[in-house]
Amino acid sequence: MTSDSSTSLLDTVEYLKQPFGQLAWLINTHAAGQPDRIALDDGEEKLTWAETTALVNQIAAQLQAQGLEKGQAVSILGTTTVRYALVYLAAIVAGGCAAPLTTSATPQQLAAMMADSGARHLFIDHIKRAELLDSGVILPPLYHVMIDSVDDAHSAPFLFEWMADEGAMPVEFDTGPDDPYNIIYSSGTTGTPKGIVHSRQMRWYQMAVGEASGLGLTGQVTLLSTPMYSNTTLGIFVATVAYGGTAILMRKFDCARWLELAQAHRATHTILVPVQYQRLMDFAHFDEYDLSSLALKYCTSAPFSAELKAEVVRRMPGALIEIYSMTEGGVVCLLRADTHPNKLHTVGAPWGGSEVITIDEKLNRLPTGEIGELVGRSTTMMSGYQNQPEKTAEASWYDEMGGRWQRMGDIGRVDDEGFVTLLGRSKDMIISGGFNIYPRDLEEVLLKQPEVVDAAVIGVPSKEWGETPLGFVVAAEGKELDLLAVCARANAELGKTQRISALKQLDELPRSHIGKILKTELREMVSAT
């Protein structure tokens, strides 16, 4: 292969135009064409493409030497680091399937995930290993490899001592489009999270769209601040890797640190969740940093208010694209916020061959514009839930021609131009006095109040109405809340059937690692009082 980086990029672009290809080919091409370009950097460790490729191949070769079979899962548990990324890539290059595990899960849930995945290996850092071993939970008999240090007390080898010798290359398995690429476990708060299986074809589609976003072009740097086990991170990470870009990995999000990294590395691309954008906008020194290199910013995973979108567009350079999808796939909607100022209340329109419609409670298709449950289909639909065919069936809707659609779990409408407005999660919809109430409508009104910085609404039992809306609010910095007054002002803007029964003040709302409000915890909080 040539050592000319421009030729290498050309080869990459042409290769990604194929209907399907192999990640291993891309990684080896980057090592040959741009060996000295930084591929991975977590602030403590950074590797060139030559170094990254060599280590990925050594790890992959050792996995195969220890019996990894085609499509078999490789479990990974720990903080986002360069080494975490190496293991993730190596599992795929070896012909296996990466299974990144959620660090916030309980030891019982983690043990269940490991067993469910069918993995033989667990790559883990010392903090999570100590937590698991101290918990007393019986773990599946996986072979443990330490990501960050040797665990002499429990005879677990260190990654770089365990892997195959320098220069080792894995055997090339004949992996096809339908073979698994990764398993992403849902962040459910109860029971065993569902394992969402993504095919190699699905991830290939995600890689192949990168050229349109400038991924891999000269000087492209992607700043990632959400965990590697999150699909939010992986979607843009795999595209960055595919085009030979540079991935800057943050171990934990912090406003000042994010701004320092964006400025120092001249970041061109990033993906943030709405709560991170809100924190950046509220950061006192935000405007002191040079972010002029930003070409494209993504946002996904949680409701993104129109007001916040407008502020981000006004204050942060580069395009802003909101992505509406789900880990299971089904549909991808994109909103180019900086070019559609009159559509900021929506999550955009279906993109890349995606389709979205609404259905009613009886699972009948609804006309355009009518409110209902959203269902979608696309080229990036999941293969199914790992070992749970009944859950896969529950999440599917079939049209008149027998075509499978993914039930999105959201209530919304699709306008005449194809733009989708979300009204709330189907499971969160409140039925009060026979009327449907969509929490998002109420939350947006609460967020308009000048002394409120965050808000959530849930349904609680009511003797009179069956259910009634209860709101939770967080005070803006330096503001005091008169809950009765805030509630009265909000109700004055709402319809008679939407009235909020009461407000409760919290210091902060419970959120997942990607910023989703954990309404289950709010319900448990109410039940406990």
| Residue 511 DSSP class | B
Whether 367 is in a domain gets the answer no
Whether 265 is in a domain gets the answer no
CA–centroid distance for 500 within its chain? 31
Whether 86 is in a domain gets the answer yes
Whole-number pLDDT of residue 2: 38
Distance (Å) of CA 22 to CA 152, 176, 517: 37, 9, 37
Residue 221: strand, helix, or coil: strand
Whole-number pLDDT of residue 392: 84
CATH number at residue 509: 3.30.300.30
Whole-number pLDDT of residue 330: 64
Whole-number pLDDT of residue 527: 85
Total residues belonging to the chain: 529
Whether 294 is in a domain gets the answer no
Whether 433 is in a domain gets the answer yes
Whole-number pLDDT of residue 5: 56
Give the domain-ending residue among 238, 263, 296.
238
What is the distance between the alpha carbons of residues 473 and 428, in angstroms, rounded to a whole number?
17
Q: What is the pTM of this model?
A: 0.83
Whole-number pLDDT of residue 28: 95
Whole-number pLDDT of residue 189: 41
- Of 248, 314, 247, 240, give the one whose Cα is nearest residue 277: 314
What is the distance between the alpha carbons of residues 214 and 290, in angstroms, rounded to a whole number?
20
CATH number at residue 88: 3.40.50.980
Q: Name residue 238's amino acid.
A: V
Whether 13 is in a domain gets the answer yes
Whether 447 is in a domain gets the answer yes
Q: Name residue 143's amino acid.
A: Y
What is the distance between the alpha carbons of residues 374 and 358, in angstroms, rounded to a whole number?
5
Give the domain-ending residue among 175, 207, 238.
238
Whole-number pLDDT of residue 497: 82
Whole-number pLDDT of residue 179: 96
- Of 278, 284, 320, give the one whose Cα is nearest residue 447: 278
- From first to last of its 529 residues, the chain has per-residue pLDDT tens of 334 555 566 688 889 989 999 999 999 999 999 999 999 999 999 999 999 999 999 999 999 999 999 999 999 999 999 999 999 999 999 999 999 999 888 899 899 999 999 999 999 999 999 999 999 999 999 999 999 987 666 789 999 999 999 999 999 988 999 999 999 987 544 456 789 899 999 899 888 877 666 676 767 899 999 999 988 899 899 999 999 999 999 999 999 999 999 999 999 999 998 889 989 999 999 999 999 999 999 998 877 889 999 999 999 999 999 998 877 776 889 999 999 999 999 999 998 788 999 999 899 999 999 999 999 998 777 888 888 888 888 889 999 999 999 998 889 999 999 999 998 877 788 888 777 788 888 999 999 999 999 999 999 988 778 889 999 999 998 999 999 999 999 999 998 889 999 999 999 999 987 788 999 899 999 988 7
Whether 494 is in a domain gets the answer yes
Number of domains in the chain: 2
What is the distance between the alpha carbons of residues 467 and 153, in angstroms, rounded to a whole number?
54
Distant-in-sequence, close-in-space partners of 160: CB < 8 Å, separation ≥ 6: 55
The range of the structural domain enclosing residue 116 comes to: 5-238
What is the distance between the alpha carbons of residues 175 and 141, in angstroms, rounded to a whole number?
27
In contact, 371 and 358? CB cutoff 8 Å:
yes
What is the distance between the alpha carbons of residues 385 and 387, in angstroms, rounded to a whole number?
6
Whole-number pLDDT of residue 454: 94
- Of 354, 326, 506, give the one whose Cα is nearest residue 425: 326
Whole-number pLDDT of residue 190: 46
Whole-number pLDDT of residue 49: 97
Helices (H), 5-104: 5-16, 23-33, 49-65, 82-93
Whole-number pLDDT of residue 4: 53
Whole-number pLDDT of residue 462: 86
What is the distance between the alpha carbons of residues 517 and 512, in angstroms, rounded to a whole number?
7
Helix (H) or strand (E) holding 76: strand 73-77
Phi and psi torsions of 486, nearest 5°: -60, -45
